Structure 1
Amino acid sequence: MQILSQGTRHVNRKSVALTALGVAVCAVGLYGVANAQLSTEKPRASPGKERGDLTWGTCDRPDLPVQKGVECGTLKVPVDWAEPQSETVALRAYRWKAADQSKRKGTILNFPSGPGEAGDIAFADLRQHLPGYDLIALDPRGVEQSAPLNCTADKALKIPQVPPTDSRRFHALAKDQSSFWSTCATAPAGLKNHMDAYSNARDAEALRKAMRLERINVHGFSYGTLTAERYLGLYGDHVNGSVLESVMDPTQSRRAFVTSAARGMEAIFDRFGKWCAKETSCALHGKDVASVFRTAQKKADAGQIPGSLHSKPWSAATVTGYFEVTAPSSFKEAAEGLKKLSEGKNPMPGEGKPGQDQTPKSVPFPDPIVCSDFDLSAGTVGQARHDLKATRKAAPVLGFSTNASHYTATCLSGPRPAEGSSKPVTSRSDHPTMLLSNTLDPATPHTWADRVAGQLRHKAVPVKTDQVGHGGGLDDPQTKRKVVAYMDQANRAGR
């Protein structure tokens, strides 16, 4: 999920205003998929004339230059795959050929993290850890240069990290969210209700066909694993190796989603507390870290901490959010920040009063895409109360995962889950899927990968890395050796 982006690229939370931490049923035949046009003579990518056409050119992405050697293209696909002759949407495609084509091992189709990350987000890491493969990807629907979902910024900023549990405020939130969703738009307009994982999986199959690739490999990270799972279920017979890291479990109910995420974050806090007790470099060494945390939350709720956290005023929820952001990358920074918060000081340099940031009227805001794939709406104030009771039981100190609970507020209005969105993961590939997880992940707890492994049964190869963080499994030498050996074997067998 968008929570903590992998690698080098992060969502600009001040301008985009707030990803939570900055995380149909049967195949429809592809219509009119033409041969790929592989000319790179044009100065920039231009849309194909027909749906299914694919043209390549140089990249002109303004927000972040692409890796040298990456080509960009545009692929036209139906907005609604159930109506394959309906209006089309132009999707941004990426291709990065292996340096030595004579030794090329195959092609890896990447499904990016998010929702909100560009298709090529993992290209540099994949080239480093799995050299010798051509890399291809799409910007998912509603993201980056694939008809981005844009929403009114001030309304996005007002979405709470945890839904309120008193009736008056909850009903006001439900009304606000209905108004908020009406401000969100895509071009074409119909795409707004077709941004789910099944649709993205069908887009990926259109890309494979347009490139005339008989066999491919699949890589997915975080939210991208959801689309990868649906791709394997629909089109896995074209897949050799598939590596999914920081795995999403589509079968979870809303309550399971928020409680498992809260339990995962509490486990990180427990590890943090043990580290502080042992390490003298910890700013809270010799102190009761849980007591310090609760003091910080009380001062925040009492309005005794100046400024804000990414345009959100300090509260018990933002203190939890601060820990979620800092601890996975640096226990030392988290300890220093919690100490300042407990003293009534703002640990975020440059953060002023809420609302002082210059925020554009409308911004790319991909968070509601999650609502296309999970039924996360709290629905009623009673459900919100029971959710909070369950998360507090699962996480006695932190209280909740702001990343997960944020979506139960966001999804009060927005796209409805696609048909079949909660179906278990299946695969049509002849080869098992490798599922990478960390023992302590702030966004996708390892229990999610365990559940998907149970759904895939003999078609799963679980690999768990003992580390704190979201992703980064391939940076562990032992995990990397397993992945490389698995991919080599899968591609030899798939020839």
Structure 2
Amino acid sequence: MTSSRPRPTARLAGVVVVLVTLLAGCSATPSPGPDRPSTASTPSAAPSGSTAAPALPSVAPTPPDGRPLQPVPAVVAPGITDPPAGSGLGRYTGQKPDWSACSRRVECATVSAPLDWSAPDGRALTLVMGRVKATASPRLGSLFLNPGGPGGSGLNLLAGFPSEGLEHYDLVSWDPRGVGRSTPVRCSGDASLDRLFALDGSPDDDAEAVALNSAVEGFGRDCLAGSGVLLEHISTADTVRDLDLLRGLVGDERLSYLGFSYGTQIGAQYADTFPEHTGAMVLDGAVDLGDDSRVDQLQGFERALDHFATWCAQQRCGLGSDRAAVLASVKRLLTDLDAHPLPGAGGRELTQQLGVSGVVTPLYDGADGWPRLRDALDQAGRGQGAGLLALADSGNERGRDGRYGSIAASFPAIRCRDSQAESVAAADRRAASLVPRAPVLGPFSGADVYCPLWPVPPAPKTGRLHRVGDRPVVVVGTTGDPATPYEYAVDMARDLDSAVLVTHEGEGHTAYGSSACVRGLVQAYFNDGRVPALGARCAD
């Protein structure tokens, strides 16, 4: 199999804004913001060697609890259209996908789904799915893939996904509602996103706190102005209904599914909603379904940074003679960026927040990403920010032409529809509580003000997910996973009925693309129905 791992896009809100907690379980995720009288987690210019939270600034006005809801404009987002002929749900289930080549190895088909699943005779939206056809006999059906996010493009994942070992399946994925080639969320322009992502996500004073809150609230209003009613119909529950529609349209009685990162939330919610339609399911890089894990995502990144620092010191990388010295160098650099941004390519600057994004982005790739992080940090230590800025751009899906991928808009829109957060003050308190548990990254993480300041209300809260149908769900967790800490997988395997945990002892986000052992177990389950043994572990 190719050595490149599938790139699940479960991203920190901070790799798309600032260090926060990403899915509604890992993201639905939190993001940056202030609570006055306590601003953000800690001042971002805290002394570089300190691990204690310094005194917090005071008095900036805290927005009142409750989202600043706005009237929904009459704008019609691209892809919203009239429903297919007929009535009720039958007008959708009777569609015949018309497949045609859309890339070198992928066929695509465009179908419709109800904008509002409770009103199937109303407006429709567009979903684009792709497939790589089975090349081995007997054909075992379709295997649906989801890369995570929320907001990751399934079509992008499918284009590079290795089919070796899964040749008996049509590999199928889709751009979920709000994403990519399906009906997309539309927000600010690229220049506005540049300004937003460069803002200080851990404000040091009242002016920075007000600027951050105002920019985030304005971003939400821009998304509403560009997307209209779509923002009210973009929850994971909506996507789960879409997935069941797609399952039926490809002719499968049961869903076979491999989901990564936030894609594990989609899978778990599908299994709970449609247990009778759930077939073989593997969830790699489990999110925190209950938002009550004893470990926060920020701690997962801190843990991964610790592992990098140990490696870096052993390699005599020049950032420090031991782990603690390397971590002190990283913290000192991020602290200094607050007042002294570094020059980057194209006349841009590496700000503190972009520096944080540049540090955490390569941690997704585990040990493969460590040399890139080492080199970028070394360059920054010599006064040049281009390396870390390029890493931040990669994490934020910003191309060299300055254009952003769709996840910059779809990520906050989906997670904030799922999130129940409505209090900036509560977000600030949570951020402050994490600083002692993440002493290097915590002072710069800020609080998640995106969802408390989002202009549409949350979707109805989902109950505890536990049903999985009559086949076990295989949950895969990686011990050094930064974005979805291993503890999340342990919890998910415990909470879902008849789930089986596979432990990957390694680094990086998700395991299927990096561990031959995990791939073998997963493929044996899909191809032959062999359930991994209880306590299964992979060390490669």
**Which bin holds the TM-score, normalised by the shorter protein?**
0.7 to 0.9
**Is residue 2:319 matched to residue 1:297?**
no
Query: Which residue type is aligned with residue 367 of structure 1?
Result: F
The offset of 1:410, in angstroms, is: 5.6
Partner of 2:438: 395
The CA distance in 2 between the partners of 1:223 and 1:350, in whole Å, is: 25
The CA distance in 2 between the partners of 1:384 and 1:142, in whole Å, is: 26
Q: Deviations over 1:424-469 (max 9, x none)?
A: 2222410111111211122111122122122115x11111212211
The CA distance in 2 between the partners of 1:199 and 1:417, in whole Å, is: 13
Query: Aligned-residue CA RMSD in angstroms?
Result: 3.6
SS in 2 for 1:271: helix
Partner of 1:32: none
Query: Which residue type is aligned with residue 373 of structure 1?
Result: D
**Is residue 2:419 matched to residue 1:374?**
yes
The CA distance in 1 between the partners of 2:265 and 2:211, in whole Å, is: 32
The CA distance in 1 between the partners of 2:335 and 2:486, in whole Å, is: 31
1:305/1:344 contact within 8 Å kept? yes
Counting only pairs closer than 5 Å after superposition, residues 204-243 of structure 1 correspond to structure 2 as 204-243=243-282
**Is residue 2:322 matched to residue 1:278?**
no
2:256/2:281 contact within 8 Å kept? yes
SS in 1 for 2:271: helix
Aligned-residue sequence identity (percent) comes to 25
1:54/1:76 contact within 8 Å kept? no
Query: Which residue type is aligned with residue 409 of structure 2?
Result: F
Could you list the runs of 5+ residues in structure 1 that have no partner in the other structure?
12-16, 24-46, 61-65
- Distance verdict in 2 for CA 1:301–1:350, change over 3 Å: closer
SS in 2 for 1:80: coil
Q: Which stretch shifts more, 270-279 or 199-208?
A: 270-279
Higher relative contact order (CA 8 A, sep 6+): 2
- Distance verdict in 2 for CA 1:376–1:272, change over 3 Å: farther
Counting only pairs closer than 5 Å after superposition, residues 328-347 of structure 1 correspond to structure 2 as 328=366, 329-347=368-386
Could you list the runs of 5+ residues in structure 2 that have no partner in the other structure?
23-82, 86-90, 532-540
The CA distance in 2 between the partners of 1:186 and 1:51, in whole Å, is: 28
Partner of 1:413: 454
The CA distance in 2 between the partners of 1:452 and 1:183, in whole Å, is: 36
Query: Which residue type is aligned with residue 485 of structure 1?
Result: A
SS in 2 for 1:120: helix
The CA distance in 1 between the partners of 2:201 and 2:139, in whole Å, is: 48
The offset of 1:236, in angstroms, is: 2.4
- Distance verdict in 2 for CA 1:321–1:350, change over 3 Å: closer
- Distance verdict in 2 for CA 1:308–1:266, change over 3 Å: farther
Partner of 2:409: 365
- Distance verdict in 2 for CA 1:48–1:138, change over 3 Å: farther
The CA distance in 2 between the partners of 1:302 and 1:266, in whole Å, is: 23
Match among 114, 124, 139 for residue 88 of structure 1: 124
Q: Deviations over 1:23-68 (max 9, x none)?
A: 6xxxxxxxxxxxxxxxxxxxxxxx96543313313244xxxxx342
The CA distance in 2 between the partners of 1:401 and 1:223, in whole Å, is: 24
Partner of 1:439: 479
1:95/1:137 contact within 8 Å kept? yes
Partner of 1:116: 151
SS in 2 for 1:162: coil
TM-score under structure 2 length normalisation: 0.72
**Is residue 2:49 matched to residue 1:7?**
no
Partner of 1:30: none
Query: Which residue type is aligned with residue 58 of structure 1?
Result: S
- Distance verdict in 2 for CA 1:311–1:419, change over 3 Å: farther
The offset of 1:138, in angstroms, is: 2.4
Counting only pairs closer than 5 Å after superposition, residues 144-293 of structure 1 correspond to structure 2 as 144-153=180-189, 154-157=191-194, 158-159=196-197, 160=199, 162=201, 164=203, 166-184=205-223, 189-252=228-291, 260-280=296-316, 282-284=317-319, 286=321, 288-293=325-330
The offset of 1:176, in angstroms, is: 3.1
2:9/2:147 contact within 8 Å kept? no
The offset of 1:387, in angstroms, is: 2.7
Query: Which residue type is aligned with residue 210 of structure 1?
Result: L
1:440/1:467 contact within 8 Å kept? yes
The CA distance in 1 between the partners of 2:526 and 2:326, in whole Å, is: 43
1:237/1:429 contact within 8 Å kept? yes
Partner of 1:307: 344
- Distance verdict in 2 for CA 1:215–1:388, change over 3 Å: closer
Match among 387, 390, 399 for residue 348 of structure 1: 387
The offset of 1:241, in angstroms, is: 0.8
Q: Which stretch shifts more, 51-60 or 477-486?
A: 51-60
- Distance verdict in 2 for CA 1:410–1:420, change over 3 Å: closer
1:283/1:332 contact within 8 Å kept? no
Query: Which residue type is aligned with residue 374 of structure 1?
Result: S
1:147/1:186 contact within 8 Å kept? no
Partner of 1:484: 523
The CA distance in 1 between the partners of 2:227 and 2:431, in whole Å, is: 38
The CA distance in 1 between the partners of 2:226 and 2:113, in whole Å, is: 14
1:142/1:186 contact within 8 Å kept? no
- Number of aligned pairs? 439
Query: Which residue type is aligned with residue 420 of structure 2?
Result: D
The CA distance in 1 between the partners of 2:291 and 2:510, in whole Å, is: 21
The CA distance in 1 between the partners of 2:404 and 2:153, in whole Å, is: 23
Partner of 2:96: 54
The offset of 1:415, in angstroms, is: 4.0
The offset of 1:340, in angstroms, is: 3.0
TM-score under structure 1 length normalisation: 0.78
Partner of 1:138: 174
1:262/1:401 contact within 8 Å kept? no
- Distance verdict in 2 for CA 1:307–1:136, change over 3 Å: closer
2:257/2:280 contact within 8 Å kept? yes
2:341/2:349 contact within 8 Å kept? no
The offset of 1:213, in angstroms, is: 1.7
The CA distance in 1 between the partners of 2:203 and 2:341, in whole Å, is: 21
The CA distance in 1 between the partners of 2:431 and 2:345, in whole Å, is: 23
The offset of 1:479, in angstroms, is: 1.6
- Distance verdict in 2 for CA 1:446–1:161, change over 3 Å: farther
The offset of 1:142, in angstroms, is: 0.4
The offset of 1:92, in angstroms, is: 0.8
Partner of 1:39: none
The offset of 1:321, in angstroms, is: 2.1
